[in-house]
Structure 1
Protein backbone atom coordinates (compact mmCIF):
# COMPACT_ATOMS: atom_id res chain seq x y z
CA UNK A 1 0.00 0.00 0.00
CA UNK A 2 1.23 3.49 -0.84
CA UNK A 3 1.06 5.99 1.99
CA UNK A 4 0.15 9.41 0.60
CA UNK A 5 0.24 12.87 2.15
CA UNK A 6 -2.02 15.65 0.89
CA UNK A 7 -0.48 18.97 1.87
CA UNK A 8 -2.97 21.62 3.00
CA UNK A 9 -5.99 19.45 2.14
CA UNK A 10 -8.98 19.89 4.50
CA UNK A 11 -9.57 16.89 6.73
CA UNK A 12 -12.23 14.65 5.24
CA UNK A 13 -13.34 13.33 8.63
CA UNK A 14 -15.43 16.09 10.14
CA UNK A 15 -16.76 16.13 13.70
CA UNK A 16 -19.48 18.12 15.40
CA UNK A 17 -18.35 21.34 17.03
CA UNK A 18 -20.07 23.38 19.72
CA UNK A 19 -19.75 26.96 20.92
CA UNK A 20 -21.49 28.17 24.08
CA UNK A 21 -23.35 24.88 24.24
CA UNK A 22 -24.81 25.20 20.73
CA UNK A 23 -23.85 22.93 17.86
CA UNK A 24 -22.40 25.00 15.01
CA UNK A 25 -21.14 22.10 12.87
CA UNK A 26 -22.82 18.73 12.47
CA UNK A 27 -21.81 15.76 10.33
CA UNK A 28 -24.52 14.77 7.86
CA UNK A 29 -23.11 12.18 5.46
CA UNK A 30 -19.92 10.44 4.37
CA UNK A 31 -19.22 8.32 1.29
CA UNK A 32 -15.98 6.63 0.26
CA UNK A 33 -15.52 4.73 -2.98
CA UNK A 34 -12.11 3.70 -4.26
CA UNK A 35 -10.10 6.92 -4.71
CA UNK A 36 -13.04 9.31 -4.17
CA UNK A 37 -14.01 10.47 -0.66
CA UNK A 38 -17.00 12.70 0.08
CA UNK A 39 -18.30 14.32 3.26
CA UNK A 40 -21.12 16.72 4.06
CA UNK A 41 -21.84 18.64 7.21
CA UNK A 42 -24.17 21.39 8.39
CA UNK A 43 -22.52 24.66 9.41
CA UNK A 44 -23.59 28.12 10.45
CA UNK A 45 -23.24 30.74 7.72
CA UNK A 46 -20.60 32.64 9.69
CA UNK A 47 -18.40 29.52 9.52
CA UNK A 48 -18.23 29.71 5.72
CA UNK A 49 -15.28 32.10 5.78
CA UNK A 50 -14.75 33.93 2.50
CA UNK A 51 -17.73 32.08 1.02
CA UNK A 52 -20.25 33.80 3.31
CA UNK A 53 -20.71 36.97 1.21
CA UNK A 54 -24.35 36.81 0.11
CA UNK A 55 -23.79 39.64 -2.38
CA UNK A 56 -21.78 37.38 -4.68
CA UNK A 57 -23.41 34.04 -3.99
CA UNK A 58 -27.08 34.90 -4.12
CA UNK A 59 -27.57 33.38 -0.68
CA UNK A 60 -30.22 34.74 1.64
CA UNK A 61 -29.09 36.23 4.91
CA UNK A 62 -32.15 34.61 6.49
CA UNK A 63 -30.71 31.16 5.86
CA UNK A 64 -28.52 30.70 8.92
CA UNK A 65 -27.47 27.14 8.15
CA UNK A 66 -25.77 25.84 5.05
CA UNK A 67 -24.38 22.51 3.89
CA UNK A 68 -20.63 22.24 3.46
CA UNK A 69 -19.20 19.49 1.30
CA UNK A 70 -15.68 18.28 0.63
CA UNK A 71 -14.91 15.83 -2.15
CA UNK A 72 -11.37 14.58 -2.78
CA UNK A 73 -10.30 12.48 -5.73
CA UNK A 74 -6.89 11.04 -6.54
CA UNK A 75 -5.95 11.11 -10.21
CA UNK A 76 -3.22 9.48 -12.27
CA UNK A 77 -1.73 12.74 -13.49
CA UNK A 78 0.66 15.35 -12.18
CA UNK A 79 -0.67 18.48 -10.49
CA UNK A 80 0.66 20.76 -13.23
CA UNK A 81 -0.94 18.65 -15.97
CA UNK A 82 -4.26 18.63 -14.12
CA UNK A 83 -4.15 22.39 -13.54
CA UNK A 84 -3.40 22.99 -17.21
CA UNK A 85 -6.86 21.57 -17.91
CA UNK A 86 -8.93 22.52 -14.86
CA UNK A 87 -7.36 25.98 -14.55
CA UNK A 88 -9.01 27.01 -17.82
CA UNK A 89 -12.39 27.93 -16.33
CA UNK A 90 -14.16 28.41 -19.65
CA UNK A 91 -12.62 25.49 -21.54
CA UNK A 92 -14.30 22.50 -19.93
CA UNK A 93 -14.98 20.88 -23.30
CA UNK A 94 -11.24 20.23 -23.67
CA UNK A 95 -11.43 17.46 -21.09
CA UNK A 96 -15.04 16.77 -20.08
CA UNK A 97 -16.61 14.50 -22.68
CA UNK A 98 -20.08 15.11 -21.20
CA UNK A 99 -19.92 18.88 -21.67
CA UNK A 100 -21.87 19.67 -24.82
CA UNK A 101 -21.59 23.44 -24.34
CA UNK A 102 -19.13 25.60 -22.41
CA UNK A 103 -18.93 29.23 -23.44
CA UNK A 104 -18.17 32.67 -22.04
CA UNK A 105 -21.29 34.79 -21.72
CA UNK A 106 -19.79 37.63 -19.70
CA UNK A 107 -16.32 39.06 -19.08
CA UNK A 108 -12.95 37.95 -20.44
CA UNK A 109 -12.14 34.28 -20.89
CA UNK A 110 -10.60 32.63 -17.81
CA UNK A 111 -10.28 35.91 -15.90
CA UNK A 112 -11.92 36.56 -12.49
CA UNK A 113 -15.36 38.04 -13.04
CA UNK A 114 -16.11 36.07 -16.19
CA UNK A 115 -19.28 33.96 -16.40
CA UNK A 116 -19.47 30.59 -18.14
CA UNK A 117 -22.52 28.73 -19.39
CA UNK A 118 -22.19 24.95 -19.46
CA UNK A 119 -24.76 22.40 -20.61
CA UNK A 120 -24.94 18.66 -21.18
CA UNK A 121 -26.82 15.48 -20.44
CA UNK A 122 -28.86 15.41 -23.61
CA UNK A 123 -31.99 17.33 -24.56
CA UNK A 124 -35.51 17.63 -23.22
CA UNK A 125 -38.50 17.14 -25.58
CA UNK A 126 -38.60 20.91 -26.17
CA UNK A 127 -34.96 20.90 -27.27
CA UNK A 128 -33.57 22.56 -24.16
CA UNK A 129 -30.56 21.00 -22.37
CA UNK A 130 -31.41 18.65 -19.50
CA UNK A 131 -28.61 20.02 -17.31
CA UNK A 132 -27.15 23.50 -17.46
CA UNK A 133 -25.37 25.96 -15.20
CA UNK A 134 -24.16 29.56 -15.17
CA UNK A 135 -21.10 30.08 -12.96
CA UNK A 136 -18.96 33.10 -12.15
CA UNK A 137 -15.21 32.85 -11.60
CA UNK A 138 -14.27 34.72 -8.41
CA UNK A 139 -10.55 34.08 -7.94
CA UNK A 140 -7.85 32.20 -9.84
CA UNK A 141 -4.34 31.41 -8.61
CA UNK A 142 -1.97 29.45 -10.84
CA UNK A 143 0.68 29.48 -8.09
CA UNK A 144 -1.69 27.69 -5.69
CA UNK A 145 -3.50 25.77 -8.44
CA UNK A 146 -6.75 27.01 -6.95
CA UNK A 147 -9.92 28.74 -8.09
CA UNK A 148 -13.13 29.88 -6.42
CA UNK A 149 -16.45 30.38 -8.16
CA UNK A 150 -20.18 30.72 -7.49
CA UNK A 151 -23.31 29.53 -9.22
CA UNK A 152 -25.59 32.23 -10.58
CA UNK A 153 -28.34 30.00 -11.99
CA UNK A 154 -28.81 26.37 -12.96
CA UNK A 155 -31.19 23.54 -13.72
CA UNK A 156 -30.28 21.96 -10.37
CA UNK A 157 -32.16 24.45 -8.23
CA UNK A 158 -29.23 25.14 -5.89
CA UNK A 159 -29.21 28.35 -3.87
CA UNK A 160 -26.21 30.02 -2.29
CA UNK A 161 -23.80 27.68 -4.06
CA UNK A 162 -20.12 28.65 -4.01
CA UNK A 163 -17.07 26.47 -4.29
CA UNK A 164 -13.32 26.18 -4.53
CA UNK A 165 -11.26 23.74 -6.54
CA UNK A 166 -7.63 22.99 -5.73
CA UNK A 167 -5.05 20.56 -7.09
CA UNK A 168 -2.25 19.24 -4.87
CA UNK A 169 0.57 16.82 -5.65
CA UNK A 170 0.63 13.46 -3.90
CA UNK A 171 3.92 12.67 -2.17
CA UNK A 172 4.46 9.01 -1.32
CA UNK A 173 6.45 7.34 1.44
CA UNK A 174 8.30 4.09 0.65
CA UNK A 175 6.81 3.33 -2.80
CA UNK A 176 6.52 -0.38 -3.63
CA UNK A 177 9.43 -1.92 -5.51
CA UNK A 178 7.24 -2.67 -8.53
CA UNK A 179 6.77 1.06 -9.14
CA UNK A 180 9.57 2.46 -11.24
CA UNK A 181 8.89 6.08 -10.48
CA UNK A 182 6.05 7.45 -8.39
CA UNK A 183 6.51 10.94 -7.02
CA UNK A 184 4.80 14.28 -6.66
CA UNK A 185 5.25 14.80 -10.40
CA UNK A 186 2.86 12.14 -11.67
CA UNK A 187 -0.04 11.81 -9.23
CA UNK A 188 -2.26 14.39 -7.62
CA UNK A 189 -5.36 14.89 -5.51
CA UNK A 190 -8.18 17.26 -6.44
CA UNK A 191 -10.12 18.90 -3.62
CA UNK A 192 -13.60 20.26 -4.31
CA UNK A 193 -14.95 22.31 -1.39
CA UNK A 194 -18.47 23.72 -1.67
CA UNK A 195 -21.24 25.40 0.33
CA UNK A 196 -24.91 25.68 -0.53
CA UNK A 197 -28.22 26.24 1.20
CA UNK A 198 -30.00 23.12 2.47
CA UNK A 199 -32.24 21.67 -0.26
CA UNK A 200 -35.90 20.95 0.60
CA UNK A 201 -37.06 17.36 0.05
CA UNK A 202 -33.48 16.17 -0.51
CA UNK A 203 -31.56 14.26 2.14
CA UNK A 204 -27.87 14.99 2.78
CA UNK A 205 -26.98 11.46 1.65
CA UNK A 206 -28.86 11.90 -1.63
CA UNK A 207 -27.12 15.20 -2.34
CA UNK A 208 -23.69 13.87 -1.44
CA UNK A 209 -24.12 10.76 -3.59
CA UNK A 210 -25.19 12.91 -6.54
CA UNK A 211 -22.38 15.44 -6.13
CA UNK A 212 -19.78 12.72 -5.60
CA UNK A 213 -20.93 10.80 -8.68
CA UNK A 214 -20.86 13.90 -10.86
CA UNK A 215 -17.39 14.86 -9.68
CA UNK A 216 -16.01 11.33 -10.00
CA UNK A 217 -17.35 11.00 -13.55
CA UNK A 218 -15.79 14.33 -14.48
CA UNK A 219 -12.42 13.26 -13.08
CA UNK A 220 -12.61 9.95 -14.96
CA UNK A 221 -13.13 11.95 -18.14
CA UNK A 222 -10.16 14.15 -17.23
CA UNK A 223 -7.96 11.08 -16.67
CA UNK A 224 -8.93 9.65 -20.06
CA UNK A 225 -8.00 12.97 -21.66
CA UNK A 226 -4.66 13.28 -19.89
CA UNK A 227 -3.48 9.68 -19.92
CA UNK A 228 -2.41 9.57 -23.61
CA UNK A 229 -0.18 12.59 -22.91
CA UNK A 230 1.49 11.00 -19.90
CA UNK A 231 4.29 8.47 -19.76
CA UNK A 232 2.78 5.20 -18.43
CA UNK A 233 4.12 3.58 -15.29
CA UNK A 234 3.25 0.31 -13.48
CA UNK A 235 0.29 0.65 -11.11
CA UNK A 236 0.50 -0.80 -7.58
CA UNK A 237 -1.55 -3.91 -6.79
Structure 2
Protein backbone atom coordinates (compact mmCIF):
# COMPACT_ATOMS: atom_id res chain seq x y z
CA UNK A 1 0.00 0.00 0.00
CA UNK A 2 1.26 3.41 -0.90
CA UNK A 3 1.64 5.89 1.91
CA UNK A 4 -0.22 9.09 1.12
CA UNK A 5 0.74 10.95 4.29
CA UNK A 6 1.42 14.29 2.63
CA UNK A 7 -2.29 14.64 1.75
CA UNK A 8 -3.83 13.95 5.16
CA UNK A 9 -3.06 13.09 8.74
CA UNK A 10 -3.92 9.52 9.76
CA UNK A 11 -6.12 8.99 12.80
CA UNK A 12 -4.69 7.12 15.77
CA UNK A 13 -6.52 5.99 18.87
CA UNK A 14 -5.90 3.81 21.91
CA UNK A 15 -8.33 2.66 24.57
CA UNK A 16 -8.09 0.19 27.42
CA UNK A 17 -10.22 -1.60 29.97
CA UNK A 18 -9.42 -3.30 33.23
CA UNK A 19 -10.55 -6.92 33.40
CA UNK A 20 -11.00 -8.01 37.01
CA UNK A 21 -10.27 -11.52 38.27
CA UNK A 22 -9.00 -12.64 34.86
CA UNK A 23 -5.32 -13.35 34.31
CA UNK A 24 -3.46 -12.51 31.11
CA UNK A 25 -3.24 -16.26 30.39
CA UNK A 26 -7.03 -16.58 30.70
CA UNK A 27 -7.84 -13.48 28.60
CA UNK A 28 -5.40 -14.22 25.78
CA UNK A 29 -7.24 -17.21 24.21
CA UNK A 30 -10.41 -15.08 24.08
CA UNK A 31 -8.59 -12.28 22.22
CA UNK A 32 -6.75 -14.71 19.95
CA UNK A 33 -10.01 -16.46 18.96
CA UNK A 34 -10.05 -14.28 15.83
CA UNK A 35 -13.04 -15.93 14.14
CA UNK A 36 -15.31 -15.60 17.20
CA UNK A 37 -14.87 -12.02 18.40
CA UNK A 38 -18.64 -11.48 18.01
CA UNK A 39 -19.10 -13.40 21.27
CA UNK A 40 -17.52 -10.48 23.14
CA UNK A 41 -17.91 -7.47 20.85
CA UNK A 42 -20.99 -5.31 21.44
CA UNK A 43 -23.27 -4.83 18.42
CA UNK A 44 -21.35 -7.31 16.24
CA UNK A 45 -23.96 -9.74 14.92
CA UNK A 46 -21.66 -12.25 13.26
CA UNK A 47 -18.04 -13.16 12.69
CA UNK A 48 -16.59 -16.22 10.96
CA UNK A 49 -13.52 -17.39 9.16
CA UNK A 50 -13.21 -16.99 5.40
CA UNK A 51 -9.63 -18.16 4.90
CA UNK A 52 -6.91 -19.91 6.89
CA UNK A 53 -6.86 -21.33 10.39
CA UNK A 54 -8.27 -19.34 13.30
CA UNK A 55 -5.50 -17.45 15.08
CA UNK A 56 -2.84 -18.01 12.39
CA UNK A 57 -1.31 -14.98 10.68
CA UNK A 58 -2.85 -14.55 7.24
CA UNK A 59 -6.28 -15.88 8.22
CA UNK A 60 -9.23 -13.70 7.21
CA UNK A 61 -12.51 -13.18 9.05
CA UNK A 62 -15.81 -11.69 7.97
CA UNK A 63 -17.55 -9.43 10.51
CA UNK A 64 -21.01 -7.92 10.08
CA UNK A 65 -23.78 -6.17 11.91
CA UNK A 66 -22.10 -3.32 13.76
CA UNK A 67 -23.60 0.14 13.36
CA UNK A 68 -21.93 2.97 11.49
CA UNK A 69 -24.31 5.95 11.30
CA UNK A 70 -23.37 7.00 7.76
CA UNK A 71 -24.59 3.69 6.31
CA UNK A 72 -28.24 4.36 7.10
CA UNK A 73 -30.65 2.23 9.14
CA UNK A 74 -31.27 -0.51 6.56
CA UNK A 75 -27.74 -1.38 5.47
CA UNK A 76 -25.59 -4.06 7.09
CA UNK A 77 -22.09 -2.92 7.93
CA UNK A 78 -19.40 -5.48 7.15
CA UNK A 79 -15.65 -5.90 6.92
CA UNK A 80 -13.12 -8.54 5.94
CA UNK A 81 -10.15 -8.51 8.28
CA UNK A 82 -6.77 -10.23 7.95
CA UNK A 83 -4.69 -11.26 10.96
CA UNK A 84 -1.21 -9.84 10.33
CA UNK A 85 0.76 -10.93 13.39
CA UNK A 86 0.31 -12.86 16.64
CA UNK A 87 2.62 -12.85 19.65
CA UNK A 88 1.80 -15.66 22.11
CA UNK A 89 4.60 -14.57 24.46
CA UNK A 90 3.67 -10.91 24.91
CA UNK A 91 -0.07 -11.49 24.24
CA UNK A 92 -0.84 -9.21 21.30
CA UNK A 93 -2.21 -9.48 17.80
CA UNK A 94 -2.40 -7.10 14.86
CA UNK A 95 -4.97 -7.13 12.07
CA UNK A 96 -6.03 -5.02 9.12
CA UNK A 97 -9.25 -4.40 7.23
CA UNK A 98 -8.80 -5.64 3.66
CA UNK A 99 -12.30 -4.82 2.41
CA UNK A 100 -15.40 -3.16 3.91
CA UNK A 101 -18.41 -0.96 3.37
CA UNK A 102 -17.72 1.22 6.43
CA UNK A 103 -15.28 3.74 4.97
CA UNK A 104 -12.20 2.50 6.85
CA UNK A 105 -9.18 2.83 4.56
CA UNK A 106 -5.66 1.74 5.47
CA UNK A 107 -6.95 0.44 8.81
CA UNK A 108 -4.64 -1.43 11.19
CA UNK A 109 -5.46 -2.40 14.72
CA UNK A 110 -3.59 -4.01 17.61
CA UNK A 111 -5.15 -5.79 20.58
CA UNK A 112 -2.98 -6.46 23.63
CA UNK A 113 -3.49 -8.21 26.95
CA UNK A 114 -1.31 -6.45 29.53
CA UNK A 115 -0.55 -6.89 33.21
CA UNK A 116 -2.69 -4.64 35.37
CA UNK A 117 -0.02 -4.51 38.05
CA UNK A 118 2.49 -6.78 39.77
CA UNK A 119 -0.27 -8.97 41.21
CA UNK A 120 -1.66 -10.63 38.10
CA UNK A 121 -4.25 -12.62 40.05
CA UNK A 122 -6.13 -9.33 40.49
CA UNK A 123 -6.76 -8.96 36.76
CA UNK A 124 -5.34 -7.70 33.51
CA UNK A 125 -5.81 -4.91 30.99
CA UNK A 126 -7.18 -5.06 27.44
CA UNK A 127 -5.64 -2.45 25.16
CA UNK A 128 -6.97 -1.75 21.67
CA UNK A 129 -5.23 0.68 19.36
CA UNK A 130 -5.86 1.63 15.75
CA UNK A 131 -4.51 3.69 12.88
CA UNK A 132 -6.85 4.61 10.02
CA UNK A 133 -7.25 7.22 7.32
CA UNK A 134 -9.89 9.81 8.33
CA UNK A 135 -13.37 8.34 8.01
CA UNK A 136 -16.00 10.38 6.19
CA UNK A 137 -18.99 11.17 8.38
CA UNK A 138 -17.11 10.56 11.65
CA UNK A 139 -14.90 12.58 13.96
CA UNK A 140 -11.81 10.96 15.52
CA UNK A 141 -13.18 11.63 19.04
CA UNK A 142 -16.44 9.86 18.15
CA UNK A 143 -14.54 6.84 16.83
CA UNK A 144 -12.32 6.66 19.94
CA UNK A 145 -15.46 6.88 22.09
CA UNK A 146 -17.00 3.91 20.23
CA UNK A 147 -13.81 1.89 20.80
CA UNK A 148 -13.75 2.88 24.50
CA UNK A 149 -17.31 1.56 24.99
CA UNK A 150 -16.53 -1.59 22.97
CA UNK A 151 -13.38 -2.47 24.95
CA UNK A 152 -15.20 -1.90 28.27
CA UNK A 153 -18.00 -4.27 27.22
CA UNK A 154 -15.46 -6.80 25.95
CA UNK A 155 -13.72 -6.70 29.31
CA UNK A 156 -17.01 -7.32 31.14
CA UNK A 157 -17.86 -10.21 28.81
CA UNK A 158 -14.39 -11.71 29.34
CA UNK A 159 -15.00 -11.60 33.10
CA UNK A 160 -18.37 -13.32 32.67
CA UNK A 161 -16.92 -15.98 30.34
CA UNK A 162 -14.04 -16.89 32.68
CA UNK A 163 -16.37 -16.92 35.70
CA UNK A 164 -18.75 -19.25 33.82
CA UNK A 165 -15.92 -21.57 32.79
CA UNK A 166 -14.59 -21.67 36.35
CA UNK A 167 -18.05 -22.58 37.69
CA UNK A 168 -18.16 -25.47 35.23
CA UNK A 169 -14.62 -26.42 36.28
CA UNK A 170 -13.48 -26.11 32.68
CA UNK A 171 -10.93 -23.48 33.55
CA UNK A 172 -8.92 -23.38 36.74
CA UNK A 173 -6.69 -20.51 37.73
The TM-score range, normalised by the shorter chain, is 0.7 to 0.9
**What is aligned with 1:109?**
54
CA RMSD, 1 decimal: 2.5
How far apart in 2 are the matches of 1:223 and 1:121?
Answer: 22
Q: Distance in 2 between matches of 1:205 and 1:97?
A: 19
Which has the larger share of strand?
Answer: 1
Alignment partner of 2:134 out of 198, 208, 233: 198
Counterpart among 88, 106, 110 of residue 142 in structure 1:
88
Unaligned 5+ segments in structure 1 are 1-53, 173-182, 232-237
- Deviations 1:24-50 (Å, cap 9, x if unpaired)? xxxxxxxxxxxxxxxxxxxxxxxxxxx
Cα distance in 2, alignment partners of residues 97 and 199 from structure 1: 21
* Structure 2 match to 1:120: 65
- Residues 39-71 of structure 1, C-alpha deviations (whole Å, 9 max, x = no match): xxxxxxxxxxxxxxx36xxx6465442111111
Q: Which has the larger radius of gyration?
A: 1
Shift of 1:230: 4.5
User: Is contact 1:169–1:185 with CA below 8 Å preserved after alignment?
Assistant: no
Q: Say which of 75, 99, 110 aligns to 2:19.
A: 75
2:34 aligned counterpart, secondary structure: coil
Alignment of 1:1-237 (within 5 A): 54=1, 60=4, 63-76=7-20, 77-96=22-41, 98-121=43-66, 125=74, 130-172=76-118, 183-230=119-166
* Partners of 2:13 and 2:66 in 1: CA distance: 23
Maintained 8 Å contact 2:57/2:84: yes
Compute the displacement of 1:121 (Å).
4.6
| TM-score between both structures, scaled by the size of structure 1 | 0.59
In the aligned structure 1, how far is the partner of 2:42 from the partner of 2:139? 29
Which of the pair has the greater relative contact order for Cα pairs under 8 Å at 6+ separation? 2
Question: The residue matched to 1:152 in structure 2 has which SS?
Answer: strand
Aligned-residue offset at 1:97: 6.9
**Range moving further from structure 2, 208-217 or 89-98:** 89-98
Count of residues in correspondence between the two structures: 161
Q: CA deviation at 1:107?
A: 2.3
